[in-house]
A and B are shown apart, each in its own frame.
Chain A
Amino acid sequence: MSNRDLPRLVLLAVPAGAFALAFFLVPLARLAAAAAGGPKGLAAYASVVTEPRHFESMMATLALAVGVTAATLVLATVAGLFLSRHAFPGRGALVAVLTLPLAFPGVVVGFLVIMLGGRQGVIGGLTEALGAGRLVFAYSLAGLFVGYLYFSIPRVILTVMASAEKLDPALEEAARSLGASRARVLKDVVLPGLAPGLTAAGAICFATAMGAFGTAFALAANIEVLPMTIYTEFTLNANIAAAGALSLVLGAVTWAALYAARSLAGPPVAAAA
């Protein structure tokens, strides 16, 4: 870039810069100020550690996000590999159905979980008929886990299928020719080949699970994940400082996870993500 180009480049950056300033940086700065302007001052930021209720909420959210990410990666890798390796009648329709959850907002996913595991849910009816009592899990972390899994799996399956189709089939054949068993080929060739895509998809999955609100709101009752805590502090307790501080902490943790995934997997992830 020569010096002569500089004014033109600055000019080109103005619209995006103005947008970022007006709708991102300014509100963020106000939020940061509001969080620090409450009765506790800067200590509000520490509430996620000092306040037991906030700390528990943070831990529950983290555990949920990690659990959902791990389970999603395992299930979606198996399904994605199967779908990319096997041609069978109805495969296209199956892929289309699998991506259906992407069409629903979180609130609707919450309803679906209630239909499945709520007080009048299908599973409850089934367990009662079997004489095991009514199994109700929709209004707990388990319900949230199922809901998040439901909308995370499609994204990761699509990523796995795209990555798997890009793998050179000769790589697996070469490993087999050298005596590697199917399991060994999976470990040494397929998974390393999918790793950049899985890391990127996993990071997105984690970030989504950290911040998802609609499903948690629909299931309400006994769930205290961080977005719900923020909502409660903001609307019910009018504790704007606490809500602001928690929001920024949630954002920082999620952003750190995305950043770590990007640097872990190197440049290809940036391209894939």
Chain B
Amino acid sequence: MSSTPIQLSRCGKTFADGTRALAPLDLEIAAGETVVLLGPSGCGKTTLLRLIAGLESPDPGGTVRFDGEDVTALPIERRAVGMVFQSYALFPNMSVRDNVAYGLKVRRLPKGEIAARTEEMLEMMAIAPLAGRRVHQLSGGQRQRVALARAIAVRPRVLLLDEPLAALDAVLRDRLRVEIDALLRRLAITAVYVTHDQAEAMMLGDRIVVMSGGRIEQAGTAREIYRAPATPFVAGFVGTVSRVADLAGGEALLRPEDIEICAVAEGRIAATVETAHFLGGRCQVTLSGPDGGRLIAEAPPDAAPPVGARVGLRWRDAAVIRIPLMEAAQ
């Protein structure tokens, strides 16, 4: 499968009722790259995906390019994209096999080729034994596999996934996430994946685009976004942060794993333990700091301090996340 880079330029979206879903933004997605659009509901991530898909058109002035070709005016049916929906959107009046074959039939490929490619997809997604079943006879995980098979059977230029795992339970979600990751690497297809789940984003994305209020807050690798968040929003949305006083001005933030609980005398600041939750491999401890602010730290699973205890907190200077004042003011 050849890979297609995507270039979005000045893409904004204002709906007919005047709601501005997206502020004009630029985004380049490299060929074969998996980009995850991450953000809370209403942040514009789905609208951005639909602009790329051709289900929405950008406000005048915005352009969408696939491999340099301007596709802004093309509707979705002529963009050669594969799309996977949260609701699966499988055709209930067709069997699993007919669902997977649908795009190939629409393209009027020779019968033999349709059959061969459909079987290949069924095998690849491990749903061959279900080929004759109706959609309503499948479990949620099986449905999502069929939806993926149907989307990639047509060998799309880009694969677009709109919260594909949101409707599944936690165990199944973890398993399918691993499968989707392996699939995307294997196909080396350009993929855009929308989610509000940061764990999903960090695992799947070559790059994560964090969005809020219709704009891009930060785009970068999982490590960059976690270690060097550009805005307080990103710091708070991806992982947990605690705010500590910073003499240099601006925000000084700490990840829970970087805050060490120690004796009051050894700590940089003193705090009172409010709650301690055993989470298996570690304990999450909530504390109230000197100025009354809430701090979240981690403790070894069997060594959490008792609730109400006065403890000291210390951290390495290198662990402090500093967000420049100008960015923080936004």
A contact residues vs B (CB 8 Å cutoff): 168, 170-171, 173-181, 184, 188-189, 192-193, 195
Contact = CB atoms under 8 A, between A and B. Distances in A.
19 contacts: A171-B91, A173-B85, A174-B90, A174-B91, A174-B147, A176-B55, A176-B77, A177-B76, A177-B151, A178-B150, A179-B77, A179-B78, A179-B154, A180-B102, A184-B106, A192-B92, A192-B93, A193-B92, A193-B93
B85 A174 contact: yes
A175 B90 CA distance: 9
A168 B89 contact: yes
A179 B75 CA distance: 10
Contact of B102 (A168, A175, A193): A175
Nearest to B83: A177
Interface string B22-60: 000000000000000000000000000000010100000
Contacts of B80: 179
Contacts of B53: 177
A178 B154 CA distance: 7
Interface in B123-179: 147, 150-151, 154, 160
Contact of B77 (A170, A180, A189, A192): A180
A204 to B, nearest CB: 23
Given A178-B102, A188-B102, A193-B92, 11 more contacts: A168-B89, A170-B87, A174-B147, A176-B75, A177-B53, A177-B82, A177-B151, A178-B151, A179-B107, A180-B77, A193-B93
Contacts of B86: 170
Contacts of B82: 177
B106 A179 contact: yes
Interface of B: 53, 55, 75-78, 80-83, 85-87, 89-93, 102-103, 106-107, 147, 150-151, 154, 160
B89 A171 contact: yes
A195 B154 CA distance: 28
A170 to B, nearest CB: 4
B89 A178 contact: no
Nearest to A184: B106
Given A173-B55, A188-B91, A189-B91, A178 B85 contact: no
A181 B77 contact: yes
Nearest to B147: A174
B85 A170 contact: yes
Considering the complex of A and B, which 3 residue pairs feature the smallest CB-CB distances, nearest first? A178-B103, A170-B89, A174-B89
Contacts of B92: 192-193
B87 A177 contact: no
Contacts of B160: 177
A179 B82 CA distance: 10
Contacts of A168: 87, 89
Nearest to B101: A178
Nearest to B82: A177
B224 to A, nearest CB: 32
Contacts of B103: 178-179
A192 B98 CA distance: 14
Contacts of B89: 168, 170-171, 173-174
A174 B90 CA distance: 8
A195 B89 CA distance: 18
Nearest to B103: A178
A193 B80 CA distance: 25
A188 B87 CA distance: 18
A64 B177 CA distance: 58
A249 to B, nearest CB: 36
A119 B25 CA distance: 68
Contact of A176 (B76, B90, B154): B76
B106 A174 contact: no
B108 to A, nearest CB: 10
Contacts of B151: 177-178
Nearest to B84: A174
Nearest to A179: B106
Contacts of A170: 85-87, 89
A1 B261 CA distance: 64
A132 to B, nearest CB: 45
B147 to A, nearest CB: 8
Which of B83, B87, B106 has its CB near the most chain A CB atoms (within 10 A)? B106
A69 B43 CA distance: 48
Contacts of A195: 93
A177 B91 contact: no
A173 B150 CA distance: 13
Contacts of B93: 192-193, 195
A197 to B, nearest CB: 14
Nearest to B55: A173
